[in-house]
Amino acid sequence: MVMLTLKLDDIPDEGLDLEWREDLPALSEYLETLSEIDFRFEAPLHSEAKIRKVGRSILIKGSVMATLRLQCVRCLKEYVYPITSPFEVILQPAREIDFPEEMDLSRDDLALDFFEGGELQLSEIACEQVFLEIPIQPLCQETCRGLCPHCGTDLNVSTCGCHEEALDSRFSRLKEWKLH
Ligand SMILES: [Zn+2]
Ligand SMILES: [Zn+2]
């Protein structure tokens, strides 16, 4: 598939402003190469970025706009989830992974990443930014009542006869909710 890569040599000293998009076939092909993916892109992924060399590192400031189709963990219905997310990453040449001890503290803050072979995989960087925005427990709505654990009735649309079980599940949902 055609994924956007950028050669370091093509970045002028004054930096580069880019805007690009990944279409659905390319995105689903990319997702297939990853494990444990339980969502789909619903629309093309739009990205824009300012790319600048800072010494031997590359600073990318940009934003991604995507629409995903996620599955609610409570009622198992699929729903559309729009994402607009600004991001900032610093990439370093992969061969220079040897950090001095004191760098460890700031690694997370900097969202430090690496590039190899003198190329930036811009499409992958954009996709990773989208992945970071996906909730660990996707919910179609905060108040989703989920399925009755006993008979499987979607409690958002109707009720069932399993009163006690339904009550239990409401308590466990409460616990679940408090954890977040
Ligand atoms: Zn739901
Ligand atoms: Zn029931």
Q: pLDDT of 67-84, one tens digit each?
A: 999 999 999 999 999 999
Ligand 2 center–CA 169 separation, angstroms = 11
Ligand 2 center–CA 142 separation, angstroms = 21
Please report, for the chain, the start and end positions of each structural domain, with discontinuous segments joined by +.
5-132, 145-180
pLDDT value for 119? 87
Distances (CA, A) of 98 to 81, 120, 131, 157: 39, 20, 27, 56
Of the ligands numbered here, which is closest to the C-alpha atom of 72?
Answer: 1
Ligand 2 center–CA 152 separation, angstroms = 6
Nearest Cα neighbor of 128 from 89, 167, 94 is 89
pTM above 0.85, yes or no: no
Ligand 2 center–CA 165 separation, angstroms = 7
pLDDT exceeds 80 at position 64: yes
pLDDT exceeds 80 at position 174: no
Ligand 1 center–CA 141 separation, angstroms = 6
Which stretches of the chain are DSSP H helices?
A: 24-32, 104-110, 122-132, 163-179
Q: What share of the chain is helix, strand, coil (3-state, %, to 5)?
A: 30, 35, 35
Ligand 2 center–CA 163 separation, angstroms = 7
